[in-house]
Amino acid sequence: MRYLNEEDRELASRFLFLSMALVVMAQDIRTIENGPHKIKEPYLELLRKMEHKGKSERSYLRQIMQQKKIHVIFLNKNESFSSYLFTADGYEEKRNYFNPAIRKNVETILFELMRKALLPAQDQRASSYIGDAR
């Protein structure tokens, strides 16, 4: 078995974990929409902004992966590990991920997307305060 180069492996891994993060966000949106929360909109707005940024990134990654003919194929899952096959230009690599490590990677991506979703709002708020002080 020939192995993928580091760049292709990182690209495929990011795509995989970002896709998982998007599934988590979609589930969270449904949970909040249907849940007992008294005020839902702030949470939903944040999750939808995160989802939008995540989908934009995944679309970009998908384009690169199509150009490089990179594919991620789910193989199997058990209590401890999930297995995926990464393929690119005749190279392939089977990756086994420890399920708690997957969770940690997805959590990290969720934090990144949260920061990206909040950053513009913080910048706008700061600039409006600066404008008010003049």
pLDDT per residue, tens digit, the chain (134 aa), is 568 899 999 999 999 999 999 999 999 999 999 999 999 999 999 999 999 999 999 999 999 999 999 999 999 999 999 999 999 988 999 999 999 999 999 999 999 999 999 986 555 444 444 444 43
Instruction: Report the predicted TM-score, pTM, of the whole model to 2 decimal places.
Output: 0.86
| Calculated CA dihedral for residues 127, 131, 133, 134, nearest 10 degrees | 140
DSSP calls for 104-127? HHHHHHHHHHHHHHHHHHHHHHHH
pLDDT at 1: 56
pLDDT at 127: 41
**What secondary structure letter does DSSP report for 61?**
H
Sheet holding 91-98, edge to edge: 70-77, 81-88, 91-98
12 touches 58 (CB < 8 A): no
pLDDT at 3: 83
Number of neighbours of residue 125 by Cβ within 10 angstroms: 10
Rg (CA), the chain: 19
